[in-house]
Structures are given as structure tokens and as C-alpha cells.
A and B are shown apart, each in its own frame.
Chain A
Amino acid sequence: MYHKTIPYRVFSAFNNVILLVIGILCLLPMFHLLMVSLSSSAAANGGLVTFWPKGFTFEAYAKTFDNKNFLTALWVAIERTLLGTALGLFVNAIAAYALSKDTRVFRARNMYLWYFVITMLFSGGLIPSYILILKLHLINNLMALILPGLVAAYNMILLLNFFRTVPKELEEAAFMDGSGHLRSFFSIYLPISLPSLATVGLFTMVGHWNAYFDGLIYMKDAAKLPLASFMQTLIVQSDMTSFDAAAIANMSQRTLRASQIFIGALPILIVYPFLQRFFVKGVVIGAVKE
């Protein structure tokens, strides 16, 4: 038994400590900033905060939630996330159902599948996509953030692979009783696949919540910016000049920015435990094939 040997025990002890330290180090920057956001702005600007709040206060959070623009952006982000996830799940799942049938049942299956895979391999790039949105008059329209990414070939394939693991007998029994494919999709496949739908749904949600670039280029009206884009303009663009006087003036905003970063990341932190639990399943869905 190697576990009982002394060299292995020494290694094991070191190993445990080192891994734990690395794990903590990964979160340390975030923890530090959380502490900054909870400190008084004087202490934060003086660089006095390390890993414990100095002059504990929720002032920065209160100020952030007083900011009308922030609240508007928050609402846009919630809208796009909910709508984008719901529509995306539906469109991808219903297509995945049809594509999960083999060629004997659905002869055009492979053709469709390649049609979607090509979108994964090649894209027109930034400028043609931008001109398209312009021509469709979707600038400043929430749909510009939802429609372009709605069909996600990768998610479709994940769902397709999962649907193929559903026992055929279930569907055959339903067909015997006179159900069609639509009915079979809604009454058998959807309910039975809730866990994998939840996985794909959660990942889509995270994607929508984190997406900032489309908002940045398609939303010319500041009131239409989703939270991630709003934060990008606020936190990243305002700083870039780390050396000049503006940055020094910006220093008073440090606690404010820290609090915004945390409010922006909060939904992700909340769903994270679920994401993590589902993830291993997600890997399995993607990996196991007949």
C-alpha cells in the first residue's frame, strides 16, 4: 500500500498544502477587491486595504445603486439574458431533436448538420456582421444582442448527443399511441432532458451576462447598454491612462469601481455552484457517443 509509506505521506502533506495555496491565490485578487469595495474611500485611496476592510462601509454599494444609468444597464442585461437564453434554448433544442434522428428517419440530417457546423468553422468577421446589423436597422435594438448569437452550433451538438442517449422505446411507444414528432419532443424529450437543458441554459446565461462587445458596438444610445458593456466603458476605458492626472482624480472612484465589479459578477457567483455541478455532466454529454 503506497499510501502508508513515509515518502508518500510527506509528498501528500506538501501536495495538499501547495494545492490549497494555489487555489487561494487564484481568488486572492478578487477577495482583495471585495475588501476595497467595503472600505471607506479614504482608506482605499491611501492603499491601506489589504485583506480586511478598513473603515467598513456599504457606501460604495449604496452610491452604485443610486446611479440611474447603472440600474438601466442592469435591467437591459437582465432582459437580454432571460430572453436570449429562453429563445436560444428553444431554437437549439428543437433543431437538435430533429437532427438527433438518424438518416433513415431524417434523410437531410447530415446536410443540415454540416450547414450548422460551417457556422462554427467560419464567420464573416466583425465588419460584415456590423454592416448587416446596420442594414437591418437593429442598432439600438435589443434584438441586435440576441438574434446573432441565438443559434449556437456547439450547444446544438451537445443537446443532439444527449437526445441520442434517450431510449428509443419511449418515443416508439408514443408513436404507437399516435403522437407525432412535435408531441414527442415536447412531452418526452424536453422533460427527460431537463438536466442537460439546464446545463446548456446556464452556460448560455453566463455567456449573455458576460457579453459586452456587441453592446459596445451596436448600442449607440447609452441608455441601451447592457451592464457588461456599461462596466467596460466605466471601468476599463476610463482607466487606460494609468499615469496621467486623470488617473489620480479617478482614484477617488476606486471603491466605487470595485463595488461595480462585484455587483456585475454577483449573478455569476450565485449560479457558479450549479455551473460547477453541471459541468462534469456537460463534459460527459459532449464526450459519450454511441
Chain B
Amino acid sequence: MENTINSLELSTPPKAGKRRRYKQPWILHFMVLPAVLLSFVFSYIPMSGVVMAFQDYKARLGFLHSPWVGFKHFHYMFSNDYFVKIIGNTLLFASSKIVLNLIIPFAFALLLNEVRNMGLKRSVQTLVYLPHFLSWVTLSGILIDVLGQTGIVNQFLTSVFGIQPIFFLGDGSWFRITIVVSDVWKEFGFNTIVFLAALSGINPALYEAAEVDGATRWKQTMHITLPSLLPMLIVVATLAMGNVLNANFDQVFNLYSPMIYQQGDIIDTFVYREGLLSGQFSFATAVGLFKSVISLVLIVISYRIAYKFAGYRIF
């Protein structure tokens, strides 16, 4: 009996809402359960905690009894000159990093792709990729020492160019440059490898055909390599858009100091100081919520675009 039903169903295309053929194994639910519970406690409960952005949260009153204040914190936020400043800093850092971390790795991957000596190619890859894995604590420790007033960089600048030591981390404009350059230093190797993988995926027959037609290497690059990589570049660039409010907390937090807050403070470090250090829980949450909501919208848009134009999807 069971068999006849199955074969009948096989012969007709399944309709929506109709009982499926397979029995749903409950064990699969059980296998997802630990992850579901952990996510619920450590992601979803904090998500519901954002209601405190609309309250004057008092620890002794809790979420249920703290007074509701509507958009007070948001009004305060936007009327605050300093807040506008840190939004500017955040956008400046994040967008410079996004652009440079696309262009430089792209160019570097193209150049690295021309290296025919595999040993050299691999060594260079190994060297540039390493900083990606070191934490910003380690790298900041290194940068603080190297860029210090008596550090080796200033020693070099003084002895070779005869200029005064530069306060890389103590002067606002230099701080901004340091942030962007050191981020490129850490991350460009990572994107280089992504692009290299895409380069190795280009069909060699294209190059062979071009060769037969007498195309120079430059022409091959312009007419085969670049067009082949363009979709990938667009996907990476689009997806990076979601990060335009992420100026990298770990980096700034470990390198900045009170005297350059005006040029170096970003949203995340501000949230940390206002919230955990000054105890302005509700205000800090409001600032954080503002950032998360905009980021969420940007991410959704960028994934939609990437999916629409390049068929990109994560699962």
C-alpha cells in the first residue's frame, strides 16, 4: 500500500502543501538544538536588549521597570557635534580601507600572477599574508614600538631625511594615515590570495588563443584577465559596502589615545567608552543600534545586488 502511494506520487509532480514523501526525522532537529539554544541565549536575547535604547535603563529597575523615553537618546545623539564628528571619522576610515584594500590587492595579485618562479611566488604570498593572522594587540604592540618617538621609523627618517620625529600616533592627521596604512598592511595579503585564486580559475585556452593571434602580455591582461576578474571584483566591492560603518574597533582601540579623539574616535570606541566606562547604558545602546540598523540595511542591499548581478549567494 505504502509503495503504491509512493510510486503514484513519483509519477505526478509534487504540489505545494501536499504531504511530502519522506518522513521527517526528528533526530535532525535534535542535532541543531545546541546551536539553536546557544544562539537564542547569546544572540537573540541581547537583540531584544536593544529596547533599552528607548529607555533610561537603570540596573536596579531592569528592562521591565526602567522608564520609557522614546527617541530621547537619538535626538541627543544627532544634536551632538561630537557624534557627527565620529561618524565622519568612521566613514573616512572605513571607506579608505575598503577602497585601498580592493585596489592594492588586485594590483598585487596581477603582478604576483606574472611571477613564474613558484618558489618566489609562494614566499611572497607567505610574507604578505602573515600579518592577517596576528591580532591587533600584537600588531599595535609592534606599531607603538616601531612608530614611537625613538622608534626605528623615526630614527630612519631623522638620519636619512634629517626631519623632526613624527608623532604617528599622537598627531591627528598622522594618526589617520597610520590607521589606514596599517590596516592595508595587515589585510592586503588576504584579499590578494582571494584574487589569486580567481586568477588561477581563468581558462588557459583563452590565453593560448590570444597568443596564437599575437597578443602581447599587456593586451592579454587588458582583454582577458581584467574582464574575467571583473565580476569577482564587483562582488567583493559590493559586499564590502556593508562595512562602511565598521572602521575596525580592535585597531583603533589599541592605537588611539585621548589627545587624538577628535580625529581618531569612531562609533564603536565611542560606544565602549560611553557605555562601559561612563555607564551611559541606554545612550551607548542607542548609538550601537543606530550603527547596527544602518549596517544591516547596507548588508541586505549589497547582498541583493551581488546576487542579482553576479549570482552570488552564501548558501
Asked if A and B are interacting partners, one says: yes
Where the two chains meet, the residues of A that have a C-beta atom closer than 8 Å to any C-beta of B are 1-3, 5, 8, 11-12, 15-16, 18-20, 22-24, 26-27, 29-30, 32-33, 36, 47, 50, 91-92, 94-95, 97-99, 101, 104-108, 112-113, 115-119, 121-132, 147-151, 156-157, 160-161, 180-182, 185, 206, 209-213, 217, 228, 231-232, 235-236, 239-243, 251, 254, 257-258, 260-261, 264-265, 268-269, 272-273, 275-276, 279-280, 283-284, 287, 289
Known: A212-B135, A228-B135, A231-B141. A108 touches B42 (CB 8 A): no
The interface residues of chain B lying within 8 Å CB-to-CB of A272 are 130, 133
Which of B137, B145, B255 has a CB less than 8 Å from the CB of A33? B145
- Number of residues from B at the complex interface, CB < 8 A: 96
Q: Mark B123-147, 1 if CB is under 8 A from A, else 0.
A: 1111111110111011011111110
Contact B137 A126 (CB under 8 A): no
The interface residues of chain B lying within 8 Å CB-to-CB of A116 are 35, 39
Give, as a whole number of angstroms, the nearest-CB distance from A152 to chain B: 10
Closest to A181 in B: B27
Q: Does B29 contact A (CB under 8 A)?
A: yes
| 19 A-B interface contacts by CB (under 8 A) | A2-B211, A5-B216, A91-B34, A94-B35, A95-B36, A106-B25, A108-B29, A118-B43, A122-B296, A123-B292, A124-B43, A127-B276, A130-B275, A148-B42, A149-B42, A151-B35, A151-B42, A209-B135, A236-B137
Taking CB atoms and an 8 Å cut-off, the chain B residues in 55-108 that contact chain A are: 108
The interface residues of chain A lying within 8 Å CB-to-CB of B140 are 235-236
The interface residues of chain B lying within 8 Å CB-to-CB of A5 are 216
Q: Does B170 contact A (CB under 8 A)?
A: yes
A150 to B148, CA, bound (A): 38
Q: Does B310 contact A (CB under 8 A)?
A: no
Give 5 A-B pairs besides A22-B124, A122-B296, A239-B144 with Cβ atoms closer than 8 angstroms: A23-B124, A118-B43, A119-B44, A206-B133, A269-B130
A213 to B292, CA, bound (A): 19
How many A-B residue pairs have C-beta atoms within 8 angstroms? Tell me: 275
Q: Does B28 contact A (CB under 8 A)?
A: yes
Where the two chains meet, the residues of B that have a C-beta atom closer than 8 Å to any C-beta of A are 20-22, 24-25, 27-29, 31-32, 34-36, 38-39, 41-50, 52, 108, 111-112, 114-117, 120, 123-131, 133-135, 137-138, 140-146, 148-150, 152, 155, 167, 169-170, 185, 189, 193-194, 197, 211, 216-217, 220, 249-250, 253-255, 257, 268, 271-272, 275-276, 281, 284-285, 288-289, 291-292, 296, 299-300, 313-315
Known: A121-B299, A157-B314. A128 touches B49 (CB 8 A): yes
Contact A2 B137 (CB under 8 A): no
The interface residues of chain B lying within 8 Å CB-to-CB of A273 are 126
The interface residues of chain B lying within 8 Å CB-to-CB of A3 are 116
Known: A91-B38, A95-B34, A104-B21. A242 touches B27 (CB 8 A): no
Closest to A122 in B: B296
Give, as a whole number of angstroms, the nearest-CB distance from B21 to chain A: 7
Contact B299 A124 (CB under 8 A): no
Known: A121-B300, A228-B135, A228-B137. A29 touches B128 (CB 8 A): no
Contact B111 A261 (CB under 8 A): no
Contact B146 A32 (CB under 8 A): yes
Contact B43 A212 (CB under 8 A): no
A265 to B141, CA, bound (A): 11
Contact A181 B28 (CB under 8 A): yes
Listed residue (B20, B44, B145, B289) with the most chain A CB atoms within 10 angstroms of its CB? B145
Contact B115 A32 (CB under 8 A): no
A281 to B212, CA, bound (A): 33
A108 to B25, CA, bound (A): 11
Closest to A232 in B: B137
The interface residues of chain B lying within 8 Å CB-to-CB of A147 are 38, 41-42
Listed residue (A27, A150, A241, A242) with the most chain B CB atoms within 10 angstroms of its CB? A242
Contact A127 B281 (CB under 8 A): yes
Give, as a whole number of angstroms, the nearest-CB distance from A147 to chain B: 6
Which of A32, A156, A264 has a CB less than 8 Å from the CB of B35? A156
A210 to B134, CA, bound (A): 7
Listed residue (B22, B28, B189) with the most chain A CB atoms within 10 angstroms of its CB? B28
Contact A212 B137 (CB under 8 A): yes
Contact B292 A125 (CB under 8 A): yes
A59 to B250, CA, bound (A): 31
The interface residues of chain B lying within 8 Å CB-to-CB of A242 are 144, 148-149, 167, 169-170, 257
Give, as a whole number of angstroms, the nearest-CB distance from B50 to chain A: 5
Contact A181 B31 (CB under 8 A): yes
